[in-house]
Structure 1
Amino acid sequence: MSTTRRTIFLYYLYQATLSNGFYLPVGIIFLQQQRGFGLDIIGLTQGAFGLALVFAEIPTGYLGDRLGRRSTLALSSVITTLVMALYTVITTPTAYVLLYILWAIGWSLESGTGSAWLYEILSERLDSDEFARVRGRGSTVSLLVSAISAVTAGVLVTVAWPLPFVAGATLSAAGLPVLMALPIVTVDTRRLTLVDGLRTLLTTVTAPGLRWFIVYSAIFYALFDVLRAFEQPAVTGVGVPVAALGVLYAGLKLVSACSAAATGWLADRVGVSDSFRLLIPVVGIAFLLVGVLPVVVVPVVFLVRAIQSIVQPLRAQYVNDRADDMGRATVLSGVSMALSLAGGGANLVAGQFAERIGLFSFLAVSGCLSVAAAGLLWIRMTPVRNEFVR
């Protein structure tokens, strides 16, 4: 096996250890049934995670540039392992809020740094144009592992509640030896200060080639984030039993995995620009149908997961192509922060409107307004450009 192929194989193994499938179907239920927390406390923990994720993105992105990619990714794996290990040990609401904040820090340590490492290693040893394809396949591996582990978690929890979380901690810890086997990217970051990183971020994201792309991406990110927040009450509201949610989530992971695997093909055949432009009619029609026929929300949830799995590596490829090596992780984390801020802000007001006009009507209106805004932006500013403009 060549060095490049071995590196990509190890990257796929590392992606497998990022799966949260053991947590996903049982994490919230554990807080309800075993800790006796109400929806207010659960909402507080999720809100704390979201806000911490926003504020941690820039510092952790800078850390990825300053300490090095591999060391930062290893720290992320250590934090995730610790979170899973403590999940069934702590008992108070305050402790869980702090635990979710810690998890958000670990999550953000990986978000920009992982993409930066992959892009740079491909630039050195293969071709940076392969980023979307390799990233998509890596996401496929992670999603397939998540699908299997989600079903396994449903079995383990019938034996003992801590078992899914122990399995999650073990899987995350397995990423450490894999990371140590990955090569170190030769990027000079010793002279990079936090001010340099912020200056690089500001210069890059305000350039014509990225500024409106981030706005366009944020519109759809916020819409999809709102749907994800309400997907469980939405699907149960049209007759899907709670007992079937574990299988539903496994199905979502499988659909996401297949979609992520097709990212490279879509980029080659359709192109990045046209792929993003197609979001406007596809998403618009899908969300409009939810308002007319609510049961359509089930396939729409699957459709949105598929779209997200395709868009994420394409978006990362687009940003990577327009970022410099020094400060790359800071830029990627800054973009992630902007998207998280859009999603978090949308969720802050979404619940109130959904209560007033009904969940399915709210989803339809949100989809139509988002698509209208994205369409107008596309006509006026051409947010996704094939050429490099800095």
Structure 2
Amino acid sequence: MGTSQPVVARPRRAVGLLAVTQFLLEVQFWFPLWLIFLLHLGFDLTTAVLADGVFRLVSVLAEIPMGLLADRMGRKASYLLITGLSAVTFAGIAMINSTWQLFGMWIVWGVLWALNSGAATTYAYELSQQLGPKQGPRGFAVIKGAGQAAVLVSLVTAGLLYGVDPALPFWLTAAMAVLAGLLALGLPDVPRVGPPASLRQVLADIRAALAGRATRSVMAVAALFMFYGWSVRILFQPLALDLELTPEQTGWMYAGVAAVGIVASLATGWVRPTHRRLVIGGGMIITVVAAALTFWWSWLGPVAWLPMLSLAWAAGWTTLELELSGRTRPAIRATVLSLVASVAGVGIAVARPGLGALADRTSSAMAYGGWAAVGVIVVVVFVVLLRRMGDHPMPAVSDDRDAGISGQSAD
């Protein structure tokens, strides 16, 4: 038997404070405008999407090392590192004036992305679990919803900030990261049970996770969902450009997308574990359908199809994060999340530049149509994997020495 879950004092306060810091970290004044910003600086679209490809490659290579680092450093230390790297990254982007600086900052951004993908989610999950088995998923959903709310607020104002100065959205994002870091100093750490696991123990734990069919399947489902659902987002800005939207209109387009994401993220906290597969499967199907509809009626994309994509992504991915975290031992939780992101990132690093180049040579609508065609094959594989992952994962325990990978008993 494993030992009980380590206790954090005043867990409601901790979850609330983490939601605030996530709000500050998730602001995306840059998101609807980064491509427009690079074009403004004189870079062409092909160079911009190649930089995105380099970013994806770096994030893939850094995922597992950053996950291992996060599991060994501890949750709070890793989170503070994320805030510091965020400030450096966006301040650096604001000062780009050459191609080598562009690719250099995108490399730093890739390292930040890799660290954030596992460490921040793990911290959010483990703090929210302090609220108990029923309130834990809801606390996790609140933290994720706070991040989506930050996206909404920042995207509404992004165009206005860009109109004042094209670099201002990036400077403000960096400043918010600094503030997040200062507030994060008041967060509790999640106590570790026993000494940090050795590299040999970590590798053995990962092999054990991959040996169980149910756990292996949910990891594969998550990687496939991330690959397909995140790759298509590179086409949001090309669609706005094709439709000749102004920066302010593009900001409002993203605001609508974010508003849907808030609702979807919050709602996942009330989904019963037995219904999670339906949410995940529905998220994938809606993503494919929305891509196809954008191909046929691209002019409705900003008000209809892109919000559909946001709904699918927020609901499906937040649910998958809960599933992954709940099935994985604490000692390798961030590493497993990073492993999933790494596998997905291999495909994303190819798909996103490819979709960007296709949109550049033809149109964004054609790129959406091609991705929808790929999605028909993806859905078939996805359904098979969903059936294998099963329902009712066992609760994850905290004793890394005695506990197994939760969920393997379903194999």
* TM bucket normalised to smaller: 0.7 to 0.9
* Structure 2 equivalent of residue 8 of structure 1: 15
1:21 aligns with 2:25: no
Runs of 4+ that moved beyond 6 A: 352-358
Distance 1:80 1:334 in 2: 21
Q: TM-score, structure 1 length as denominator?
A: 0.88
Query: What SS does the aligned partner of 1:184 have?
Result: coil
1:219 aligns with 2:224: yes
Q: Is residue 280–residue 371 contact of structure 1 (8 Å, CA) maintained in 2?
A: no
CA shift for structure 1 position 371 = 3.7
Distance 1:305 1:198 in 2: 35
Distance 1:40 1:56 in 2: 24
Q: Is residue 68–residue 189 contact of structure 1 (8 Å, CA) maintained in 2?
A: no
Q: Which whole-Å deviations, capped at 9, do the CAs of 1:231-285 have from their partners, x for residues lacking one?
A: 22334445655652121112212221122122223x1397112212324553454
1:300 aligns with 2:305: yes
Which residue of 328, 331, 338 corresponds with 2:336?
331
* Structure 2 equivalent of residue 312 of structure 1: 317
Query: What SS does the aligned partner of 2:389 have?
Result: coil
Q: Is residue 239–residue 365 contact of structure 2 (8 Å, CA) maintained in 1?
A: yes
CA RMSD of aligned residues (A): 2.8
Which residue of 130, 148, 151 corresponds with 1:146?
151
Query: What SS does the aligned partner of 2:30 have?
Result: coil
CA shift for structure 1 position 112 = 0.9
Distance 1:93 1:128, change over 3 A: farther
Q: Is residue 279–residue 315 contact of structure 2 (8 Å, CA) maintained in 1?
A: no
The one-letter amino acid of 1:140's match is: G
* Structure 2 equivalent of residue 259 of structure 1: 264
Q: Aligned residue pairs: how many?
A: 386
Distance 1:345 1:132 in 2: 34
Q: Is residue 147–residue 249 contact of structure 1 (8 Å, CA) maintained in 2?
A: yes
Q: Sequence identity, in percent?
A: 23
Which residue of 347, 351, 355 corresponds with 1:346?
351
Distance 1:347 1:202, change over 3 A: farther
* Structure 1 equivalent of residue 401 of structure 2: none
Which aligned pairs between 1:1-390 and structure 2 lie closer than 5 A?
3-33=10-40, 35-123=41-129, 125-128=130-133, 130-188=135-193, 190-237=195-242, 240=245, 244-265=249-270, 267-268=271-272, 271-279=275-283, 281-298=285-302, 299-350=304-355, 359-379=364-384, 382-388=387-393, 389-390=407-408
Q: TM-score, structure 2 length as denominator?
A: 0.84
The one-letter amino acid of 2:182's match is: P
Distance 1:40 1:18, change over 3 A: same
Give ranges in structure 1 of 5+ residues lacking alignment. Answer: none
CA shift for structure 1 position 344 = 2.3
Distance 1:269 1:334 in 2: 23
Distance 1:39 1:189, change over 3 A: farther
Distance 1:233 1:127, change over 3 A: same
Distance 1:332 1:174, change over 3 A: same
Distance 1:321 1:129, change over 3 A: farther
Give ranges in structure 2 of 5+ residues lacking alignment. Answer: 1-8, 394-406
Q: Which whole-Å deviations, capped at 9, do the CAs of 1:285-341 have from their partners, x for residues lacking one?
A: 434434444445442211111111112221111111111111211111111212222
Q: Is residue 136–residue 313 contact of structure 1 (8 Å, CA) maintained in 2?
A: yes
Query: What SS does the aligned partner of 1:326 have?
Result: helix
Distance 2:133 2:193 in 1: 19
